[in-house]
Structure 1
Amino acid sequence: MQTEADRCVKCGLCLPHCPTYALDQEEAESPRGRIALLQALASGQVQPDEAITTAIDDCLSCRACERVCPADVRYGQLFDAGQALLAARAPARARQSRRMAMLLHRPALRRMAMRALFLLQRLGLLEMMQFLLASTRLGVALRRVPPLPWARRPLEGTPPPEGQVGLFTGCLGEGPDREAVRAAQQLLASAGWRWHAPRTQDCCGALEQHGGDSHSAASAIQRNAAAFAGHAHIVSLASGCTAWLQDADDSADPRPFGGRLRSLWTMLQDAPEALHLAARPERIAIWLPCTQRNVLRDEQAMLAVLGTVPQADIAVLPTFDGCCGAAGLHFLQQPDRADRLAAPILQALQQRPVDRLLCANVGCRLHLASALGEAGLSIPVEHPAQWLASSLR
């Protein structure tokens, strides 16, 4: 960590691009300030008190700073290393990460939890729990949960012949992201690709990686590498998951996925068959997640594919290097800050009414759907693949 941190020349060019610095106008809430804190922590000059821990935890890991850094500092790696350092010095943080891993990496338990939330919502009991627990962190988090579908395993497809596409569904592909997974399956099939979603795949491990548990995250990568060993291409839908899979593939030798990770949008551009799309005279807004803009950088391919839908009026919402506030679990853990970050997006949608909002990351969609509902804006929020698949004819 220290070597990477020392590459930062403290020039401050990243400050105007940092959402948390824009929010608070404090040096500790900037990439430069956080790097200085991490250097002091690593060298033992300071101890992780509440102020330092808060400043580091407030980071959204949006990585907008990486795009503008003249020294090419890999801030994403620094943030993860800082979280690991804090976890090593605070047993409570490590226990929290282990509890999360227990849920995310046990499919039966994960589905049970999502189905329980589904039943609580349908029976009207979730609102009662929100009221009773209103002053607690759990109550605030429950209030942010949008309507969920009944959790089911995604379709698996057939065993992988040569040249087949492996579809990474993620831990939420059974619930909140299920329709996006189904849409991707339809699009790939319509474009002439054969797809397969192996049952042995695992949660990507991004939440553990960003929570300081790099060992659990690395184990998840190895399990997924084994699950997708027979596929020529690997497509992941949620930009947050994809960003971590790509980071893991780029930073290891040998590469666990062998450079086979592909964007759904470039796969559709290179498809053996053309998509046949019906006219959709709708006004569509697109929010580009941080991980898509700053890590994957596949937004132009996505916009090119979506632009082939006849009569659709598609506009990308201005980002100004902003973040919607979802940032993994940030919108559940710090809802007030998340709402402040989402406010410009809601304002843009109020000024330009649309028929639906598209976003390629499941966490961002959950957060934005909740924020729109609280603002009284009834705008459907979907993965771009869902809208594109519904245009097939």
Structure 2
Amino acid sequence: MNNAPDLLRLADQCVKCGYCLPVCPTFLHTPNEAESPRGRVALIQGWLTGALEPTAPLQLHLDHCLLCRACERACPSLVQFGQLMDGARALQIKTQPRWRAVFMQLGLTLLTQTRGLLLITAAARVYQWGLHWTRRDADVPIAAQSSWAVLRQLTWYLQWPINPPCPPFTKGGNKVDSFTTGGDAVNSFAKMGDVIGVFATGGDAVNSFTKAEDETSAFTKAKNKKIGALLKEKSPPALFLGCVARVTENETATALIQVLQSLEIDYCIPTAQGCCGALLRHHGYPDAADRVLKRTAATLRDAPVIIGYASACVAELRSHAQLNAVESCRFLINTPALKTAHLRPLAARVLVHEPCSQHWLGDPQAAYQLLQLIPELVVQSLPDNGHCCGAAGTHFLQFPSAAAAMASAKIAAIRELKPDYVVTTNTGCALHLNMQLQASGLAIRVVHPVVLLAMCLLSLNDKLHGRSFNQFTLVGGNHFY
């Protein structure tokens, strides 16, 4: 829906009641009526009817929207605000000069490809060196310093040159003890690149997993092929790696694979998969998003279920490709094998951050239910979960000062409660919160719930040898096609 008449019909459903105002992060941050859902609906109506000119301030008010869609849950008229904003941004792009629209699309395309992300990392580091050697750090405007701070911190997560993925809790084949001791998990963000790593590029993005040591044949062929109704098909579930998540969440991908192997659940990783198209769609390029998603969906169609560990990607696959996609926490909870699995205790406290995308899936409780299976783990909700953290796709890169302000209440709560871990199921939220914690001087890791589960799950091989911890050694079999 990216034509003016359809968007106007959608906007006219809004009765301007104002129930959306208290739940809108941008309105609470300013507060400015033009920064509220009600205000943006009015701006769109004025623009599309010709009553308002598409000035730079008007366009900026629309760009500031996080697309968290909290307003949709509060709206008594059931206005589909996310769809309205996507359509308005698509029309915005059409009004831009051709060169600018192409340039913006190129930047987004780089963000959705492994090589592009690493190229951005290299450019960011060159920029950092240039500022340092020319001693111009103090001359950079405050807004630019804020934007640069995000890029500089992002380089810890996007490492160059490319390194193959490895089990995150092993280094050189030896167990890293700090990862098995709860709150003492590697807190140095300077070493985060060693923890997360990156996937190889292009078609070989995940092939390096196949080189894992074949320590035991117990996992080469999973025996449990009836995981509820979803796994009665002949084909195994497929893992969706995504684009940004593929580079920044190697730790999560490795943990999920270890859990599936430990539970003897077969799986496959289609090597031709790509981006879900969400970044392109939410920035006004629906046609490009559909093309990208179509290619990705073609590689996943045969799977009875697609398991994703980035909730925003799962929501995109489900809503725009009509795929049977499920977030990894919910998949594991519905797995009979997990109910009888042996989990070692983890004496730690964890705060659960609820991404907006987990609410879109209608399943904000999945992470809580999964973590509550771990003995001795204290699971609490992160205060201010009702509001977006400010990550919102690329919002924390485009508007870092505003994004930091929106996360400030959460960071203050983390400082006060002093958890051992913060968990979230969305890639952007994890990056944003990790960066804000680092900037605040808090050495607390933000991880995916599956990472904590993998730390505590005793594999079949562990039980056979009487071991009391999981060493995260990837084993057995070719799970790629």
Determine if the alignment matches structure 1 residue 288 to structure 2 residue 297.
no
CA gap of 1:75–1:213, structure 2 versus 1, over 3 A, is same
After superposition, the C-alpha distances for 1:280-320 in whole angstroms (9 at most, x for unaligned) are 00011111111112x01222122111100000011111226
Change (3 A) 1:223 1:129: farther
Deviations 1:112-161 (A, max 9, x none): 555x479x59xx95984897564447634423426223422454579998
Paired residues, number: 380
- Structure 1: which 4+ aligned runs deviate by more than 3 Å? 104-114, 124-138, 153-161
| Pairwise CA distance, 1:196 | 1.4
Shift of 1:265: 2.2
Alignment RMSD (CA, Å): 2.6
For residues 136 and 397 of structure 2, the distance between their equivalents in structure 1, rounded to whole angstroms, comes to 17
Amino acid at match of 2:361: L
Q: Which residues in structure 2 correspond to 1:18-167 (within 5 Å)?
A: 18-91=24-97, 93-111=100-118, 113=120, 116=122, 120=125, 125=129, 128=132, 132=136, 134-135=140-141, 136=144, 139-145=148-154, 147-148=156-157, 149=193, 150-153=197-200, 155=206, 162-167=234-239
Distance in 2, matches of 1:96 and 1:34, equals 26
Residue-by-residue CA offset, 1:164-196 (whole Å, 9 max, x unaligned): 111111112332111111112222233332111
SS at match of 2:423: strand
- Name the CA shift for 1:93/1:86 in 2 (closer, same or farther; >3 Å): farther
1:276 aligns with 2:345: no
Query: 1:19 and 1:73 mapped to 2: Cα distance?
Result: 18
Q: What secondary structure is seen at the aligned counterpart in 1 of 2:337?
A: coil
How do 1:354-373 residues align onto structure 2 when only pairs under 5 Å count?
354-373=419-438
What amino acid is the match of 1:343? S
Residues 1:146 and 1:296: Cα distance change in structure 2 (over 3 Å)? farther
Percent identity among equivalent residues?
34
- Stretches of structure 2 lacking an aligned partner (at least 5 in a row): 1-6, 158-192, 211-220, 222-230, 459-481
Larger Rg: 2
CA-to-partner distance for each residue in 1:59-85, whole Å, 9 max, x for gaps?
111100111111211111111111111
Q: Which one is further off, 130-139 or 26-35?
A: 130-139
CA displacement at 1:370 relative to structure 2: 1.0
Unpaired stretches in structure 1, ≥5 consecutive residues: 250-254
Deviates more, 1:299-308 or 1:279-288: 299-308
- Pairwise CA distance, 1:44: 2.4
Question: C-alpha distance in 2, partners of 1:213/1:349?
Answer: 37
In the alignment, which of 388, 394, 406 is matched to residue 323 of structure 1?
388
Structure 1's 130 and 90: CA in aligned 2 closer, same or farther, altered over 3 A?
A: farther
Match of 1:349 in 2: 414
Q: Which of 268, 286, 290 is 1:196 aligned to?
A: 268
Q: Within the alignment, does 1:235 sit opposite 2:307 as a pair? A: yes
Per-residue Cα deviation, 1:223-257 (whole angstroms, up to 9, x for no partner): 111010221101111122222222213xxxxx4x2
Paired residue type of 1:239: S
Shift of 1:381: 1.2
- 2:165 aligns with none
Cα distance change of structure 1 residues 320 and 151 upon mapping to structure 2, 3 Å threshold: closer
2:477 maps to which residue?
A: none
Question: Aligned partners of 1:164 and 1:378: how far apart in 2?
Answer: 39
One-letter amino acid matched to 2:105: R
Letter in 2 for 1:152: F
Whether contact under 8 Å (2:113, 2:243) holds in the other structure is no
| AA matched with 1:151 | V
- Determine if contact 1:19/1:321 at 8 Å carries over to the other structure: no
Contact 1:172 1:178 in 2 (8 A): no
User: Does the 8 Å contact 2:353/2:385 carry over to 1?
Assistant: no
1:217 aligns with 2:275: no
Aligned twin of 1:252: none
TM-score scaled by structure 2? 0.73
Query: What amino acid maps onto 1:45 in structure 2?
Result: A
Change (3 A) 1:201 1:335: same
1:196-238 CA deviation, whole Å, 9 max, x = no partner?
1211111111111111011111111111110102211011111
